Amino acid sequence: MLEIRDLHASINDVEILKGVNLTVNAGELHAIMGPNGSGKSTLAFVLAGKPTYAITSGQVLLEGVDMVGMAPENRARAGLFLSFQQPMEIPGVRLDQFLRAGYNAIHKARREEELDVLKFDRLLTRKTKMVGMEAALTRRYVNEGFSGGERKRNEILQMAVLEPKLSILDEPDSGLDIDAVRIVAQGINQLRTPQNSVLLITHYQRILNYVQPDYVHVLINGRIVQSGDKDLALQVEAEGYDRFEAKEQALDLSPSCPPLPKGEGDVSPSLLGKGARGLG
Ligand SMILES: Nc1ncnc2c1ncn2[C@@H]1O[C@H](COP(=O)(O)OP(=O)(O)O)[C@@H](O)[C@H]1O
Ligand SMILES: [Mg+2]
């Protein structure tokens, strides 16, 4: 489904992603965990094609098609969906109209049926129930005056309506109390199928009590330093990110030039000399 190979990306010439590798198969849910500033949102935006980010090297394949250089709307038509960490308000645009426009744009591109207002309304009623959202919210302007929980639920509603192949959910749990996290998690679970995949970005383990990940990856300073199953998330919860940060820093110390503590520099050449003589 998704294959990321040695992805490097920067903003304003500052490298943020420093060689990300990730393979997500159909039907899998992968959690990406990491501390603030580790590059989680950058990864999400780069995958979605936000123009302010430059991919300096590497490949991103969605179902075998290279997405690097593809416009964001074409990525969406190809089945990619990004839910925002901070969903924006769109004053003057009703949520139901917004969703129908998105739905029809994608269906048109796929030469599938577009829906008129009446038909779409029936579909939307079904989808709102599915994600536990009040139908009345869909007749308001997008996110205007929505609570934090309603905004996040609205992101999941979009996912339900657009039926993407790959959903990238950027901290769908951030800023929510535990009941709201559970509702969002239930929505995500409802939408999982053997055909689609989810990249669930989160800072905290708690949403993974309700959403079962197939894999968990820890992203530190633009690199995945460890991958595992849900136990890795529990480990992060228990220990924090410090140990993973140390692991990431160790990646930078190339074996050819480790900074030698004072004193050791004097010893090793002589040891080397002895070794060399011993061999001869
Ligand atoms: N527009 C920008 N210009 C410069 N640096 C940025 C910009 N946006 C994000 N960054 C930096 O990129 C790094 C990763 O940020 P981000 O991807 O948002 O991390 P996360 O989502 O893991 O908290 C941070 O150090 C952040 O300061
Ligand atoms: Mg972020």
Instruction: For each of the domains in the chain, give its residue range(s) and CATH number, in order of start.
Output: 2-279 (3.40.50.300)
**Secondary element (H or E) of residue 230:** helix 230-239
Does 14 contact ligand 1 (Cβ within 6 A)? yes
Q: Which of 42, 45, 223 to mutate to test the pocket of ligand 1 (most atoms within 8 A of CB)?
A: 42
Q: Which pLDDT value is given to residue 258?
A: 47
- What tokens does 131 get? 């994600």
DSSP-derived letter for residue 81 is E
Instruction: For residue range 158-167, list pLDDT tens digits in order.
Output: 999 999 999 9
Phi/psi for 115 (5° steps) reads: -110, 140
Q: Which pLDDT value is given to residue 85?
A: 87
Q: CA angle, corner 45, sides to 40 and 47, nearest 5? A: 95
Q: Which of 12, 15, 16 to mutate to test the pocket of ligand 1 (most atoms within 8 A of CB)?
A: 16
DSSP-derived letter for residue 241 is S
Closest protein CA for atom 25 of ligand 1: 37
The most distant pair of C-alpha atoms in the chain lies apart, rounded to whole Å, by: 89
Q: Which pLDDT value is given to residue 254?
A: 53
Does 46 contact ligand 1 (Cβ within 6 A)? no
Q: Which pLDDT value is given to residue 247?
A: 87
C-alpha dihedral, 29 to 35 to 38 to 41, nearest 10°: 50
Does 202 contact ligand 1 (Cβ within 6 A)? no
SS3 content of the chain, % helix, strand, coil (to 5): 45, 25, 30
- What tokens does 93 get? 């645009």
Sheet containing 29-33: which strands, arranged edge to edge? 80-83, 166-170, 197-202, 29-33, 215-220, 223-228
Q: Which pLDDT value is given to residue 22?
A: 97
The SS3 of residue 273 is helix
Q: CA angle, corner 242, sides to 235 and 265, nearest 5? A: 130
User: For the chain, which ranges sit under pLDDT 70?
Assistant: 253-280
* Ligand number with the minimum distance to the CA of 37: 1
Q: Which of 13, 33, 41 to mutate to test the pocket of ligand 1 (most atoms within 8 A of CB)?
A: 41
Q: Which pLDDT value is given to residue 262?
A: 46
Q: Which pLDDT value is given to residue 233?
A: 96
* Ligand number with the minimum distance to the CA of 20: 1
Tell me how far the alpha carbon of residue 157 lies from the centroid of ligand 1, in angstroms.
Answer: 27
Q: Which pLDDT value is given to residue 265?
A: 39
Q: Which pLDDT value is given to residue 252?
A: 76
d(CA 204, CA 223): 18
Does 34 contact ligand 1 (Cβ within 6 A)? yes
Q: Which pLDDT value is given to residue 255?
A: 53
Does 79 contact ligand 1 (Cβ within 6 A)? no
The SS3 of residue 22 is strand
DSSP-derived letter for residue 193 is -
pTM of this structure = 0.86
